[in-house]
Structure 1
């Protein structure tokens, strides 16, 4: 009977059944067969509902969707182009910066590819960049901003691992910039190699001033949010509320690109995404409570300690595992399912949980674009109307750079813990 039900659950998961249903069913069946009190599910749901960080998650997600509905992406691209247009590879660097900034604010790589891909891809081709380079750049850049605050995955990791979220915000800055710098250097090299020097886009102070005036409100947004948090004026949920007020003021009153009639559909989109995250969180926490009750983490720990002798070998194995997870699961599901199992292992090898969070998100970010089933590859295939195999080839050089960055982030923890006291 148990084998039969396990087989059915596996088939449902493979067939595309919503993940929270599969996880919930697995948890309930395990509790039932082992005569575990089902009240643990209710307790975990209540504990989750009482977590004040969920308010911040909801508000930041809403602000991100408002920005996605506005012309913020075009203004940011114009401003970046005005600064870097003359630089060799300037447009490619503009694409990287714009995608990272936009993903950090919206928290979703798919939204970035859809919103900016149609704007940047034709511009890159027109500027003389090779098709494979342009496709690979935009496909892998879609998830670049996951390490920058106020990224939703950083908040989720903080909630699940019981880690201070403001510390995670600081920890992601240096690794995120390292990733951008290495990708920018490669883009500049590729631009020179294919003759895209950017000289036809001469620096124009008047254009820079005009673009700066137009994008100034979006540029100031991170300063408002992070200044409030790290200046000690706002806690995270208050910063999220200020962000919503600021974004609505800018996009509805100043730019007037988001209308009052658009708000219900934005609320619906936000509710669907955050509601899905919360349901997955609740189901996963209940399932994780079962695993802990059955001492599964302890058994995994004993197995690891038998065969894995040191911290660095553990981190190497962890990276391979997380890259695979990043291919198969979306970032939110991966966080709530895997983090509770990994945290005890990491602590046993004396891995700092802040550093672990940055390693975790870097892997998931790369996994989004890793063949054969990285999510960004399929989104880009639909957006640019190219075959998935074509995008595999186009993304390889960018993936190599991202993997090098992952190695640096993993084995040089000081990069993530630079600002820690």
Structure 2
């Protein structure tokens, strides 16, 4: 009953227009005060400090900085031009190129919002010029943009690891095959749309010399994901060290090789990265204040009692949690959902014998769906702001892709080996 009251209070506070991070903190502090009185205010500073005092979390601002450097340097455009040289002549070639570029960009940015924003700038105009339907274009870019949090390095996976102490390397490995599979599913949908006359015209076929020249140009950027991810997998450095190496490499290729970035641009890059980092850390702090209250109420134990009372099997628990996460994802930020829900669910997963690595991927895919589902759906509003079209148009275009993502989520539930094969290899 208390949890229901907290949820209602949270919805009312968020409906008032207060930023999510502040709203979480207000509800958490209010609930703590009702339970513990004024003494609650004494412990909250320690809770906030503990929530961000993590070496692993240092990787988050570094990955954001790396992403911002590459975005400002126009690397996404270089990658898109390269992919279109190879695939643009195929049926639905520009759409397929957008998906493939998003998948490559996901291995660089670690953020779905940044990934979708870059692709909306780079891919949407040429797709519409070649006759692609606007709604289809925006829906495809939104859906493929969500690959940013599934294909490593994924910022939400880093946060999951920070909360649960699970291996970052295993979490990243678990996202690889599902990420590639989802990209192939989206590409297949584009090709089918093209063959049935619902897609735009293909590009002229590029010559081999054009392909090789553009690939050589993109080669420096394409080396970055193997350096970062490979370094983590093979134990050369930690996730935080990998992020630092990624920032250094991004600076080198942007300033010295592509020369699309100037020293004068670095101040703006640092400011934008700082703003994004502060937003994430504020969300973590607000979520941890509320999470502290939820932990004090022993919700995990109550949930286990409920499961035992109804004799709920593991698969039933998974389906129930997927439904709950989808609802939460529609009204809260991904980071907020992670920090509120994961500390509650993790002990239950261990008790029920559910692999946390597998569940983490299901969690992330569920959040991908949330990113393109109203009313919060951050990716929807980012694309709307960039293309300057009504949000209703973007929402209409994304609906078929939401259906595809749900089918993909159930596929991962039914076939756990798609997620667990690589983590098992690196065990």
Regarding TM over 0.5, the answer is yes
Indicate yes or no: 2:18 matched with 1:17.
yes
Partner of 1:17, secondary structure, is coil
* Inter-CA distance 153–216: structure 2 relative to 1 (3 Å threshold): same
* Equivalent residue for 1:232, pick from 232, 235, 248: 235
Q: Which residue of 2 aligns with 1:159?
A: 162
- Any conservation in 2 of the 1:88–1:199 contact (CA below 8 Å)? yes
* Inter-CA distance 352–392: structure 2 relative to 1 (3 Å threshold): same
* Equivalent residue for 2:301, pick from 298, 302, 305: 298
Which runs of no fewer than 5 residues in structure 2 stay unpaired?
none
* Equivalent residue for 1:211, pick from 209, 214, 232: 214
CA-based RMSD: 2.5
- Any conservation in 1 of the 2:20–2:332 contact (CA below 8 Å)? no
Provide the C-alpha distance between the structure 2 equivalents of 1:57 and 1:393, rounded to a whole number of angstroms. Answer: 33
Provide the C-alpha distance between the structure 2 equivalents of 1:85 and 1:10, rounded to a whole number of angstroms. Answer: 46
Partner of 2:223, secondary structure, is helix
Q: Which residue of 2 aligns with 1:363?
A: 366
**1:19-418 counterparts in 2 under 5 A?**
19-35=20-36, 37-38=39-40, 39-194=42-197, 200-307=203-310, 309-418=312-421
Task: Give CA deviations for 1:41-74 in whole Å, capped at 9, x if unaligned.
Answer: 2333343343111221121111111111111011
Give the C-alpha shift of residue 131 in structure 1.
Answer: 3.0
* Inter-CA distance 309–378: structure 2 relative to 1 (3 Å threshold): same
Moved more, 139-148 or 217-226: 139-148
- Any conservation in 2 of the 1:40–1:286 contact (CA below 8 Å)? no
* Inter-CA distance 99–199: structure 2 relative to 1 (3 Å threshold): closer
User: How many residues of Structure 1 are paired with residues of Structure 2 in the alignment?
Assistant: 420
- Any conservation in 1 of the 2:10–2:23 contact (CA below 8 Å)? yes
Which runs of no fewer than 5 residues in structure 1 stay unpaired?
none
Provide the C-alpha distance between the structure 2 equivalents of 1:336 and 1:255, rounded to a whole number of angstroms. Answer: 39
Task: Give CA deviations for 1:295-353 in whole Å, capped at 9, x if unaligned.
Answer: 12211222233236211111112112112222212222221122112222333332111
* Inter-CA distance 415–135: structure 2 relative to 1 (3 Å threshold): same
Provide the C-alpha distance between the structure 1 equivalents of 2:9 and 2:335, rounded to a whole number of angstroms. Answer: 24
* Inter-CA distance 291–195: structure 2 relative to 1 (3 Å threshold): closer
* Inter-CA distance 44–395: structure 2 relative to 1 (3 Å threshold): same
The TM-score with structure 2 as length reference comes to 0.91
- Any conservation in 2 of the 1:87–1:198 contact (CA below 8 Å)? no
Provide the C-alpha distance between the structure 2 equivalents of 1:68 and 1:197, rounded to a whole number of angstroms. Answer: 27
- Any conservation in 2 of the 1:130–1:194 contact (CA below 8 Å)? no
Provide the C-alpha distance between the structure 1 equivalents of 2:203 and 2:64, rounded to a whole number of angstroms. Answer: 39
Provide the C-alpha distance between the structure 2 equivalents of 1:15 and 1:299, rounded to a whole number of angstroms. Answer: 31
The TM-score with structure 1 as length reference comes to 0.92
